[in-house]
Amino acid sequence: MKKILIIGAGAMGAAFSIPCLDNKNNVTLCEPYNNQLVKKLIENKNFHPALKIRLPKKLNIKKFTSEILSQKWDLVTIAVGSMGIEWVRKNIKQLKYNTNILILTKGLKFDKNTKKIITMSEVLNQGNKKLNISVLKGPCLAGELVRKIKSSTVIANKNIKIAKSIGKLISTKYYKTEYSTDVRGVEICSAIKNIYSMLIGAGEGANTASTIFNKSISEMVYLTKFFKGREETVYGLAGIGDLYVSAVGGRNSKMGYFLGKGFTFKNAKKKFMLNDTIEGAELAFEIGHYILKKIDNKKIPLMVDLLKAILNNAKLNIRW
């Protein structure tokens, strides 16, 4: 039995605990921000309000404290939102033992010091001793995983043996893991697909959406290679696989639908999705100015159209 810590008790962090528990691991789920969520989970006997399901009794649920990181863990999993990765970076220094770290968080950051776009794993390594970081990405909806609907993801680490050792801890009959050494490519794909899923959602119908889907893949290839990832990664679970899941259902695709109907982002957010986090829009605000300034806009017309609509709060006009 191995000890696994999951930092972030939101939908994905909670769902990820299920395959970990089914592998007979000792799993602790902790939440650093939302004290009310922890209180509700404990008072309601592990019933998760977002997932609408009761989590197993054997799952340990706690509020995050610095003492937790002083314990010895076989795997520490990061499942906070991209906005919380800086908090994790500062607190992960408290780890007293060298352990495997697995990042579920998807996103990219514009680093003001280097003036470059960096990944979540690169953010976590800033200012820290060299951490043993792997990333897990792919087409996995939390609501389906928690109900044990068959899902697949990819674990990336430059040392493939480490990725496979983590896979053994979490893989089940319903939760399959593939492996890659293209850490940067996997992280790039899993982030930018949120923007392209908004564009696909904006399509007037299935005919339009399928064309946008096809063009999106071409742009993802260009961008992934620009950021030093490998082309074949785009055609895997972190690329096309994750893009498909986000396009057929999800908050990004839903926002794209409203943009396609002529609403500006701010109006659509306020009127239809006030309390929803739109990852694609957050990413646009984070890296949009860099993309528009540093990358040949003629190579990525779809991305440019979406970025200009979000950043300028203008109506989306997709060029053909």
Q: Render pLDDT for 178-215 as a digit per residue (tens, 0 to 9).
A: 999 999 999 999 999 999 999 999 998 999 999 999 99
Q: What mean pLDDT do residues 97-120 have?
A: 95
Residue type, 11: A
Q: What's the CA gap between 112 and 164, in Å, rounded?
A: 34
If you ran DSSP here, which 8-state letter would residue 10 be given?
S
Is the pLDDT score of 100 beyond 80?
yes
If you ran DSSP here, which 8-state letter would residue 239 be given?
I
Q: Render pLDDT for 7-59 as a digit per residue (tens, 0 to 9).
A: 999 999 999 999 999 999 999 999 998 889 999 999 999 999 999 999 999 99
**pLDDT classification of 117: cutoffs 50, 70, 90:** very high
| Residue 148 burial (10 A CB sphere; 0-12, 13-18, 19+) | middle
* Domains (range + CATH), the chain: 3-181 (3.40.50.720), 192-311 (1.10.1040.10)
Beta strands in 64-214, from DSSP E residues, in sequence order: 75-78, 100-103, 108-111, 116-119, 132-137, 151-156, 175-180
Q: What's the CA gap between 76 and 199, in Å, rounded?
A: 34
pTM: 0.95
Write down the pLDDT at residue 64: 92
If you ran DSSP here, which 8-state letter would residue 56 be given?
P
- Helices 183-201 and 301-311 cross at an angle (nearest 10°) of 70
Whole-Å CA distances, 190 to 39, 186, 306: 32, 6, 17
**pLDDT classification of 153: cutoffs 50, 70, 90:** very high
Write down the pLDDT at residue 52: 96
Write down the pLDDT at residue 244: 97
If you ran DSSP here, which 8-state letter would residue 132 be given?
E
